[in-house]
């Protein structure tokens, strides 16, 4: 079984996994989701991320929705991304929302929870001593939290260890 495939197939079992929505910051967050390509390339999907050069390169040919950055401690962009999330989830409701963070995931997980859309949060590999703020928030908004290292279970005791993505 391909890395990551099992986590999505088992995630909640609420609906068949057909239409995926990946929500993440650019850079390392996006790079970690890209490693699941052998799995996700078989499904209809869309991406929500920042309009930056690395995103354009990595997502060439992919359906992409640009969101607002920076998101760290930026309340204005948090609200702007709520509108992006509302429009995105209204226009074509995905079967599952998958994210490695960062803050752009929060509005999508909040609205996804309200709409009953299954959500999967994967904590980034480089956080082993303290959880990310996004992980703490999104972890409360899903039954499907994943970590990449056994050591991260201290922060997320109910999470599934999926192995390293990078």
Per DSSP, the residues of 11-52 read STTSS---SEEEEE-STHHHHHHHTTHHHHTTS-EEEEEE-S
The mean-pLDDT minimum among 5-9, 41-45, 113-117, 161-165 falls in: 5-9
pTM of the model: 0.89
d(CA 132, CA 126): 10
- Predicted confidence (pLDDT) per residue in 120-136, tens digit: 999 999 999 999 999 99
- Predicted confidence (pLDDT) per residue in 10-65, tens digit: 554 444 558 999 999 999 999 999 999 998 999 999 999 999 999 999 999 999 99
Which pair of structure tokens corresponds to residue 112? Answer: 């996804």
pLDDT at 12: 44
Contacts for 146 with CB less than 8 Å, ≥ 6 apart: 7, 120, 121, 122, 123, 159, 160, 161, 162
Confidence of residue 166 (pLDDT cuts 50, 70, 90): confident
d(CA 80, CA 74): 10
Q: DSSP secondary-structure letter at 67?
A: E
Per DSSP, the residues of 81-146 read HHHHHHHHHHHS--SEEEEEESTTHHHHHHHHHHHT--EEEE--TT-SSS--HHHHHHHTT-SEEE
Find out whether 11 and 120 touch, Cβ atoms under 8 Å: yes
- Predicted confidence (pLDDT) per residue in 71-121, tens digit: 878 899 999 999 999 999 999 899 999 999 999 999 999 999 999 999 999
Asked if residue 143 has pLDDT above 80, the reply is yes
Domains assigned to the chain: 5-161 (3.40.50.2000)
């Amino acid at each position: 079984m391909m890395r990551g495939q099992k986590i999505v197939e088992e995630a909640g079992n609420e609906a068949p996994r057909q239409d995926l929505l990946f929500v993440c910051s650019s850079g390392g967050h996006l790079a970690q989701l890209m490693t699941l390509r052998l799995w996700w390339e078989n499904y209809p999907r869309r991406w929500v991320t920042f309009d930056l050069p690395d995103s354009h390169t990595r997502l060439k040919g992919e359906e992409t929705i640009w969101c607002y950055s920076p998101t760290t401690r930026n309340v204005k962009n948090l609200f702007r991304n709520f509108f992006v999330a509302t429009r995105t989830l209204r226009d074509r409701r995905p079967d599952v929302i998958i994210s490695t963070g960062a803050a752009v995931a929060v509005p999508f997980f909040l609205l996804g929870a309200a709409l009953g859309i299954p959500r999967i949060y994967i904590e980034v590999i480089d956080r082993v001593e303290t959880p990310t703020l996004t992980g703490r928030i999104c972890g409360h908004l899903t039954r499907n939290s994943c970590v990449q290292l056994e050591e991260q279970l201290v922060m997320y005791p109910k999470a599934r260890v999926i192995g390293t993505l990078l």
